[in-house]
Amino acid sequence: MEREQILAVLNEKTKENTQLQAEHQKMKDILAAREAALIQLQEENKKLSTKFENSDQDMFRETLENLSHIIREKDIEIDALSQKSQTFLEVLRTSGTGHEVGGEFEELLQEQAELKQ
């Protein structure tokens, strides 16, 4: 009778041990899957981070190029207006007769000086 009880307890403990081993293996599998997912997410994060850094640099470069282009256009426009003003002043100098034209000429010279500042 004692032997049967010992065998019954032993069988029960063996079943518990088998269940615990299965649960332990299941936990190890879950842990391994989570570690793999974490590594994959870290790699994707690095790729996205690099992509956004490159994107920011590209946007900065493009903005700088656009601003440089606008500045060049404005410089050309200023030069053209300056030449036009100079030509107009030369015409006034050569054709200027009378006191009224002289006064307008002086005003234009002052305006040109202000614009140059």
C-alpha 101/C-alpha 99 separation (Å) is: 6
Q: How many CB atoms lie within 10 A of CB 105?
A: 15
C-alpha 21/C-alpha 102 separation (Å) is: 109
If residue 38 lies in a helix (H) or strand (E), which one and from where to where? helix 2-95
Ordered mean pLDDT values, 10 residues apiece, the chain (117 residues): 91 93 95 95 90 82 92 92 84 65 70 74
Angle at 11 between CA 9 and CA 17, to 5 degrees: 100
Q: Whole-prediction pTM value?
A: 0.46
pLDDT of 101: 57
Residue written as tokens 């300056």?
Answer: 82
